[in-house]
Amino acid sequence: MSVVGSENNHGPPPEVSLSLPTSPHARAKRRIATLMDEVEVLKQDKATKQRFELSRILRAGLTSHRKTTYYVSQGRAIRCMVVLYTPIEDLIAENDRRCEHTDGDANIEQDRLQRGYIELTKALPWIHEKLASFEHEESDEMLRKLKRGADAARGDDTGTLKELVASWVNNDCRPTPLIRTSDKHRRGFVSDACGKLLCPAEWRWDDPVIRAGIRDRTAAFIVSENSWPLFMYQDYDADVENLERGLMKSKLLIMAFKAIFTSPSSANEVDGKGDGTDIIENHRRAQRQSDQTKVKTCVASIIGMQKIRFALSNITSWRTVDGDFDYQIYWSNIVDFFENAPGPAARGRVNELLEWWTRKVFGKNHRQDLTPDVVSRMSVSALATQRQEKEDAVFDSD
């Protein structure tokens, strides 16, 4: 028993290491090499993650840049095709108000805002859906970019017409001295040529009493937005007994429209007679519907009228009120002329005016009128039908 007990006291036999003795220096070098490999793997993983993150940021930035560029470019149409002054937010707010209050109660100003919103959705067909789907922050950002484009376009157009209108007036009126394209101080009522074009339709600029009264800004001769300027009339002459005759038909308006919406050089192709000759070569829109052309021409001509008056005036920077003349009310008066006709007879004359503008700007192209019924009666279709009938006759005779 004592032998067994003594054997148990020794415990299990010690484990024998199978390692072969190596140099501590060599082992340290291998551990360092292993750690360096692990560090390199970590660096590669980190670099991969950084490249991925950078790529994500660049894609997001590129997407944001594309959105910014798109919205800014689209916004350039707003001050030309929709409204000249009204903030986009006001148009949206009025449409929202009408959606929430269906009683149909609206004043004149609210009707103007709603018409503006409708024109906005025509000029930018995607905006209504965007406004419905975007969060508030996204919507605000989009509207800021649209406004940036709108303001930039108005500034560009104003600067372009400042020089062009001077050259047009010089060519048509031959003033002495000629109007300098780079200087506005000698324009306005100081200039006989500009003064006649800016003169209200109810007065005659050639009358020295009227001319002096306008220049001296007397109470008897107040030039305000309540008068139609002569530059808006065909041949710059108005019939006080029929003030609608020739209104909105001046050569200057058409030239301004074309300079803004096609190219400055195309403005020289205007004949000014109103007979509908092919005056545009580089602006053929075969697929444009007739009613869309009318609407866009109407609104665009309104814009042209605003900018022409500014170009003829002697004010050097854009502002809403020039002396006694309020541009915003002037804008409303022109819109009301087109939109608020007193009856069907007046509406018919407005439609004739829009047809006149359409011919003057887009020429006599009528591809939109080539309906299947019209095409079927033309010689190509008629010949095809005749040939088929002859084939059918031969087949029946056999």
Q: Give the pLDDT of residue 191.
A: 92
Is residue 276 pLDDT above 50, yes or no? no
Residue 309 · residue 187 · CB < 8 Å: no
**Mean pLDDT for the stretch of residues 287-302:** 54
Give 298's pLDDT tier (boundaries 50, 70, 90): low
**Mean pLDDT for the stretch of residues 120-129:** 88
Give 274's pLDDT tier (boundaries 50, 70, 90): very low
Kindly state the DSSP code that residue 375 receives in the 8-state scheme.
H
Q: Give the pLDDT of residue 288.
A: 44
Q: What's phi and psi for 220, nearest 5 deg?
A: -80, -20
Residue 194 · residue 169 · CB < 8 Å: yes
Radius of gyration in angstroms for the set of CA atoms belonging to the chain, rounded to a whole number: 38
DSSP-H helix ranges across the chain: 2-8, 24-75, 78-81, 88-100, 108-123, 127-133, 136-173, 192-198, 208-216, 251-261, 290-312, 327-339, 344-362, 372-376, 379-397
**Mean pLDDT for the stretch of residues 14-34:** 69
**Quick one: 283 exposed, middle or buried, by C-beta within 10 A (0-12, 13-18, 19+)?**
middle
Q: What pTM does this model have? A: 0.66
pLDDT digits (tens, 9 = 90+) for 337-382: 988 889 999 999 998 998 888 888 776 666 777 888 888 889 999 8
Strand partners, 321: 326
Dist CA 228 CA 232 (whole Å): 7
Give 300's pLDDT tier (boundaries 50, 70, 90): low
Strand partners, 247: 233
Give 200's pLDDT tier (boundaries 50, 70, 90): very high
Give 193's pLDDT tier (boundaries 50, 70, 90): very high
pLDDT digits (tens, 9 = 90+) for 205-225: 999 999 999 999 999 999 999
Q: Pick from 338, 351, 349, 272: which is nearest to 112 by CA?
A: 338
Dist CA 88 CA 83 (whole Å): 9
Is residue 98 pLDDT above 50, yes or no? yes
